[in-house]
């Protein structure tokens, strides 16, 4: 295990820096809103700075191994360790989280949602950040579980307190669905602990073990538990129903965090835990995961076409996009999983941005009903163009980030891992390709109805409808830049993730001889740009 | 008459058993203070009121000293042929009882003084009840278990009726008393059967005698079932929980907290002693029984809690469900005894902190609203943010959301039932998982009301939290969080069931 002894503390600091900020804010009186905003933004910028240092300091030549690795005892009686580390798979997601949060705080500078109380809102956001980054660095199943759950409470309250009309229903639904999944996931983790000889929660050991010594039937069951836990979070069809409600009711910042990072916890769980630890079960479940993924793609797209509310439409588009991510994962190939990680980052940037826009539209028009909007390009041209640009990115226009998430995932489905039915996945491929057409359909239609045409009579002379403000520019520019950057140079991500993905799949070669063939086939096309 | 039964013991001359004073020091300390408070009351009458609560607090804190010295000493001690055992397990339970008692005193101080109730008697009874509990932690003999049980129950019956001008309080006490006595009778009958089958009251001997199947199997089965059912009343497991909601609602709230935490924990301790020392050889009998009790308690408790409108009744039903979680590991106690024991005890310790805390908030809020209606918790965040955060911590800890203590408790329960590696264990694990989701609904609903809704009538006057109550809240909240984040050694000291049996 390659470790850089001097900077191993760094990761711990990155994880808990937001929490320190939150603790400081507890001591500041509630009335002093400005200080709260400053502390929150400063904390998140420090975290971003540390994450940036991590990005620079990271040894890219060794991206397949965990770096900044810390492994100490945590709760000895249950064998849980404080084991953290970062490799090529988690690095892009940590960077994404660290980037999104300051933008959220910038946006919050003059957009604290009703009913106010910046203190509580910002503290919850910081706790969320700790939970999210913690999930991506955890290398111990119990630690992972704890961080995975830490995000629940803040998100629940964010929707419950600062949400829209129907927030009670939406927040409870979000909470109950996710807890249901994660409770069963915990059972699976425990089963894994006892079924492997090692008696450990260490992800490294369990990944190396790769389900050895567990009978096939049990593996399938254990995988099913994890599937529920991660699948609800992704969310996969048919567990997706909490998502449109949560997104629609959540405040803008909540939607952005939810779309940009929270959903990735689920897909990350598949890549990091479920598949490498139980490759045999993953292979057996792959066609079903793929099936649900393509159903999600089509269903999400059809759902989008039927929506009358812009935010709800974006939420359904998330279901479709995460379907592509899951399809990539379900192929169990290096190529597909790289595409999935790319898709996660791209979806984070693009959909996060779309929710920012939706928030700003709501603020100006006081409605997100598509048929009441219109002519945005005439009234607020910059806002309209940004919406157009991000829609293009979202529908997978080559040259923008969205393309590299979708296209390789579809391509990977052409040639899934050996042991996974090729025919089935080729059918999925065709269906997914139809999904991209539908995506273009609903996004262009959205653009046409909201941005083009004449402003509706209702809003024609509304002085509230102004163009993009300075805080909005600051909050949005990095996302827009990222969308272009990763669209032009996808290798920036692929080259980081590929070694780690390859290594994690290499493990299954030892357990499943069948994987080897697919590996060879897939690696010829791997590496992306 | 004495001459008549003397031959039964096979000894004509009484030999005083060796007494380990250090081992008995916690009980003796508490006994001394309890007597002192009663004496002071007799002598000083009204003047004693002022010092009653501080003296009781002092008594409990002083009692902690021998518990700590015994823990530091680390040797397992045993007296009366193994009928009284001091080991890590009993010490951690004693410490839990004493600390829970201390928190209850903190919660009672203003409540009892301001309500113009009898004070010295209240604290005297409280101490004697706690004495029964710490005795229970060491009891490894049917007689001492029964004595400890009555010692802890009878004062609690009286404390439940402390608001004596309130009909509901009378109802609470009477129900509690009648049900409790009924349970005692059933249990006593079971004990007599077990004594008949084994010829000894010592749990170790009983285990030896009943482990091998004999012609007396039917007697053993009925004996075990009756004893377990007796304690199922005490821990308010479904379907023996019917007294709990009414008693909880009618009793003075600090007493409710005491009954729902300390008294329930004492029932569990007795059950653990019985199962792990006395019946462990007969897991074929008690495991299915525990399985059914656990599954029924958690499911029924949670479903009934869903429809409650009174927070105390809600906590009563949630307590039934929590009892189900605590019983779950006992359903696999024969397969993985060590894990099952630690799981149950860990749950008990964490449950004590979080449930006491929840009741402390209920008391604090009732100081303003004079009500326990859940609808009166709406908008709490707007006028009492500190209390809201505390209540949020306690409720979501009860729901088992990390990083609050409750998650570790549930984790350990799941760990035990999964490690057993049996189909029934796995199914019970799924029961726990699904029930966590059901329970979350009613906890989260209160959380939603506190944070996201408006206060009824727009009344935003702050809640006046007296110092002692504040200390109780802080203490329980800190323990609740600490147990979830850095539980350290507290829940890991006793991992060997064999220690329970003593020498």
Question: A148 Cβ partners below 8 Å, 6+ apart?
Answer: A131, A135, A182, A265, A269
Q: Cα(A410)–Cα(A324) distance, rounded to whole angstroms?
A: 8
pLDDT at A210 (0 to 100): 79
| A130 interaction partners in chain B (CB closer than 8 Å) | none
> Which contacts of A21-26 are long-range, i.e. CB under 8 A and separated by 24 or more positions?
A21/A46, A21/A126, A22/A123, A22/A126, A22/A127, A22/A130, A25/A119, A25/A122, A25/A123, A25/A126, A26/A123
B437–A78 C-beta distance less than 8 A = no
- The answer to whether residues B344 and B272 touch, using CB atoms and an 8 Å cutoff, is yes
Q: How many CA atoms lie within 13 A of A127 on its CB side?
A: 22
SS3 state of residue A169: helix
- The answer to whether residues A330 and A290 touch, using CB atoms and an 8 Å cutoff, is yes
Tell which residue, B478, B477, B469, has the closest CA to residue B104.
Answer: B469
Could you list the pLDDT tens digit for every one of the 529 residues in chain A? 444 456 678 889 999 999 999 999 999 888 888 899 999 999 999 999 999 999 998 888 888 888 888 888 888 878 888 999 998 899 999 999 999 999 999 998 888 888 888 899 999 999 999 999 999 999 999 999 999 999 999 999 999 999 888 899 999 999 999 999 888 899 999 988 888 877 888 888 888 877 777 888 888 999 999 999 999 998 888 898 999 999 999 999 999 999 999 999 999 999 999 988 888 899 899 999 999 999 999 999 999 999 999 999 999 999 999 999 999 999 998 899 999 999 999 999 999 999 999 999 988 888 888 888 888 888 888 999 999 999 999 988 898 999 988 899 999 998 888 888 888 999 999 999 999 999 999 999 999 988 888 888 778 777 878 888 888 999 999 999 999 999 999 988 898 898 888 888 876 655 554 444 444 444 444 433 3
| A173 interaction partners in chain B (CB closer than 8 Å) | none
Percentage of the residues of chain B whose pLDDT score is greater than 90: 48
Best to test chain B binding among A23, A75, A118, A201 (most B CBs inside 10 Å): A75
Among A1-15, A190-204, B12-26, B356-370, top mean pLDDT goes to B356-370
Q: Cα(B351)–Cα(B391) distance, rounded to whole angstroms?
A: 14
Chain A contact for B466, CB < 8 A? no
Query: A527 to each of A137, A195, A331, A335, A492, how far by Cα in Å?
Result: 24, 36, 16, 8, 10
B495–A171 C-beta distance less than 8 A = no
Q: Which residue of B has its CA nearest to A26?
A: B386
- B225 pLDDT higher than 70: yes
Q: Looking at residue B274, what DSSP letter applies? A: I
- The whole-angstrom distance between B239's CA and the closest CA on chain A is 26
Q: Cα(B467)–Cα(A516) distance, rounded to whole angstroms?
A: 68
Question: What would the mean pLDDT of B451-455 be, rounded to a whole number?
Answer: 87
Chain B contact for A75, CB < 8 A? yes
Q: Cα(A513)–Cα(B462) distance, rounded to whole angstroms?
A: 68
Best to test chain A binding among B440, B443, B446 (most A CBs inside 10 Å): B440
Domain extents in chain B: 281-498
- The answer to whether residues B418 and A191 touch, using CB atoms and an 8 Å cutoff, is yes
B344, B350, B352, B357 alpha-carbon torsion, rounded to 10°: -160
Average pLDDT, chain B: 87
Cα–chain center distance at A509: 28
Q: Cα(A279)–Cα(A269) distance, rounded to whole angstroms?
A: 14
User: pTM of this prediction?
Assistant: 0.90
Chain B contact for A110, CB < 8 A? no
- The answer to whether residues B103 and B360 touch, using CB atoms and an 8 Å cutoff, is yes
Q: Cα(A443)–Cα(A183) distance, rounded to whole angstroms?
A: 36
pLDDT at A516 (0 to 100): 44
- The answer to whether residues B277 and B144 touch, using CB atoms and an 8 Å cutoff, is no
Model pLDDT for residues B270-298, shown as the tens digit of each residue: 999 999 888 888 888 889 999 999 999 99
Q: Residues A205, A207, A212, A217: is their CA dihedral positive or negative? A: positive
Q: Cα(A404)–Cα(B496) distance, rounded to whole angstroms?
A: 56
Strands A80-86 and A67-75: antiparallel
Chain A contact for B411, CB < 8 A? yes
- The answer to whether residues B48 and B121 touch, using CB atoms and an 8 Å cutoff, is no
pLDDT at B502 (0 to 100): 47
pLDDT at A519 (0 to 100): 46
């Amino acid at each position: 295990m390659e470790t850089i002894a001097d900077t191993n503390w760094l990761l711990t600091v990155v994880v808990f820096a937001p929490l320190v900020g939150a603790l400081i804010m507890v001591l500041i009186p509630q009335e002093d809103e400005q200080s709260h905003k400053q502390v929150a933004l400063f904390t998140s910028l420090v975290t971003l700075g540390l994450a940036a240092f991590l990005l620079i300091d990271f040894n890219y030549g060794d991206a397949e191994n965990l770096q900044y690795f810390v492994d100490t005892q945590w709760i000895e009686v249950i064998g849980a360790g404080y084991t953290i580390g970062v490799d090529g798979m988690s690095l892009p997601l940590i960077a994404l989280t660290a980037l999104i949060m300051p933008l959220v705080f910038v946006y919050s500078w003059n957009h604290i949602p009703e009913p106010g109380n910046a203190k509580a809102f910002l503290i919850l956001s910081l706790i969320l950040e700790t939970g999210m980054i913690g999930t991506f660095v955890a290398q111990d199943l119990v630690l992972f579980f704890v961080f995975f759950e830490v995000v629940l409470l803040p998100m629940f309250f964010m929707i419950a307190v600062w949400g829209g009309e129907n927030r009670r229903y939406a927040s409870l639904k979000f909470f109950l669905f996710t807890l249901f999944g994660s409770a069963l996931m915990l059972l699976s983790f425990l089963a894994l602990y006892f079924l492997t000889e090692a008696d450990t929660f260490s992800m490294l050991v369990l990944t190396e073990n790769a389900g050895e010594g567990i009978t096939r039937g049990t593996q399938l069951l254990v995988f099913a538990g994890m599937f529920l836990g991660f699948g609800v979070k992704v969310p996969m069809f048919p567990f997706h129903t909490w998502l449109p409600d949560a997104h629609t009711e959540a405040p803008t910042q909540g939607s952005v965090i939810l779309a940009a990072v929270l959903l990735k916890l689920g897909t990350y769980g598949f890549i990091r835990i479920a598949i490498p630890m139980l490759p045999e079960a993953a292979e057996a479940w792959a066609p079903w995961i793929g099936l649900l993924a393509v159903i999600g793609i089509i269903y999400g797209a059809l759902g989008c076409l039927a929506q009358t509310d812009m935010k709800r439409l974006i939420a359904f588009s998330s279901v479709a996009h995460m379907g592509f991510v899951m399809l990539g994962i379900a192929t169990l190939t290096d190529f597909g999983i790289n595409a999935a990680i790319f898709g996660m980052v791209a979806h984070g940037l693009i959909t996060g941005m779309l929710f920012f826009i939706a928030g700003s539209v709501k603020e100006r028009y006081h409605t997100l009903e598509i048929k009441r909007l219109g002519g945005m390009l005439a009234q607020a041209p910059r806002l309209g163009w940004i919406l157009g640009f991000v829609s293009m990115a979202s529908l997978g226009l080559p040259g923008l980030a969205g393309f590299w998430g979708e296209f390789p995932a579809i391509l990977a489905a052409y040639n899934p891992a050996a042991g996974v039915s090729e025919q089935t996945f080729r059918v999925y491929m065709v269906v997914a390709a139809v999904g991209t057409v539908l995506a273009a359909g609903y996004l262009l239609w959205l653009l046409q109805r909201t941005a083009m045409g004449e402003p509706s009579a209702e809003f024609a002379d509304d002085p509230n409808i102004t163009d993009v403000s300075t805080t909005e520019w600051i909050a949005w520019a990095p996302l827009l830049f990222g969308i272009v950057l990763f669209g032009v140079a996808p290798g920036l991500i692929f080259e980081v993730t590929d070694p780690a993905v390859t290594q994690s799949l290499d493990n299954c070669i030892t357990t499943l001889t069948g994987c080897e063939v697919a590996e060879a086939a897939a690696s010829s096309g791997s590496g992306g740009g | 008459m004495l001459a008549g039964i003397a031959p039964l013991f096979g000894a004509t001359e009484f030999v005083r058993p060796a007494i380990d004073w250090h081992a008995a020091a916690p009980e003796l300390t508490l006994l001394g203070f309890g007597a002192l408070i009663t004496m002071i009351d007799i002598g000083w009458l009204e003047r004693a009121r002022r010092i009653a609560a501080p003296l009781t607090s002092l008594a409990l804190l002083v009692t902690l000293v021998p518990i700590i010295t015994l823990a530091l000493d680390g040797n397992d001690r045993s007296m009366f042929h193994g009928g009284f055992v001091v080991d890590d397990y009993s010490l951690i339970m004693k410490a839990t009882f004493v600390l829970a008692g201390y928190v209850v005193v903190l919660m009672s101080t203003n409540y009892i003084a301001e309500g113009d109730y009898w004070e010295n008697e209240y604290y005297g009874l409280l101490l004697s009840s706690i004495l029964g509990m710490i005795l229970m932690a060491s009891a490894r003999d049917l007689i001492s278990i029964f004595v400890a049980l009555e010692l802890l129950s009878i004062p609690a019956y009286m404390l439940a009726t402390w608001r004596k001008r309130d009909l509901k309080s009378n109802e609470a006490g009477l129900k509690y008393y009648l049900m409790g006595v009924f349970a005692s009778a059933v249990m006593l009958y079971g004990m007599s059967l077990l004594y008949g089958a084994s010829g000894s009251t010592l749990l170790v001997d009983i285990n030896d005698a009943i482990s091998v199947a004999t012609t007396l199997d039917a007697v053993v089965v009925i004996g075990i079932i009756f004893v377990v059912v007796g304690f199922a009343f005490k821990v308010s497991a479904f379907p023996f929980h019917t007294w709990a909601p009414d008693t909880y609602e009618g009793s003075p709230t600090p007493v409710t907290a005491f009954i729902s935490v300390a008294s329930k924990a004492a029932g569990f301790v007795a059950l653990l002693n019985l199962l792990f020392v006395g019946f462990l050889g007969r897991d074929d009998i008690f495991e299915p029984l525990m399985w059914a009790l656990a599954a029924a308690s958690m499911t029924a408790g949670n479903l009934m809690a869903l429809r409650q409108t009174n927070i105390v009744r809600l906590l009563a039903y949630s307590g039934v469900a929590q009892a189900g979680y605590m019983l779950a590991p006992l359903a696999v106690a024969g397969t993985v005894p060590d894990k099952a024991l630690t799981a149950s005890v860990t749950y008990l310790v964490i449950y004590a902190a979080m449930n006491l805390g929840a009741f402390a908030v209920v008391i604090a809020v009732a100081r303003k609203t004079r009500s326990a209606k859940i609808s009166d918790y709406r908008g709490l965040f707007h006028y009492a943010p500190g209390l809201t955060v505390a209540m949020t911590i306690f409720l979501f800890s009860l729901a088992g959301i990390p990083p609050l203590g409750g998650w570790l408790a549930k984790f350990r329960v799941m760990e035990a039932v999964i490690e057993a590696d049996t189909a029934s264990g796995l199914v019970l694990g799924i029961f726990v998982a699904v029930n966590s989701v059901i329970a979350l609904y009613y906890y989260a609903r209160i959380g939603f009301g506190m944070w996201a809704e408006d206060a009824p009538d727009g009344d935003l006057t702050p809640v006046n939290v007296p110092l002692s109550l504040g200390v109780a809240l802080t203490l329980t909240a800190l323990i609740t969080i600490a147990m979830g984040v850095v539980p350290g050694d507290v829940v890991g000291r006793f991992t060997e069931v064999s220690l329970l049996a003593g020498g």
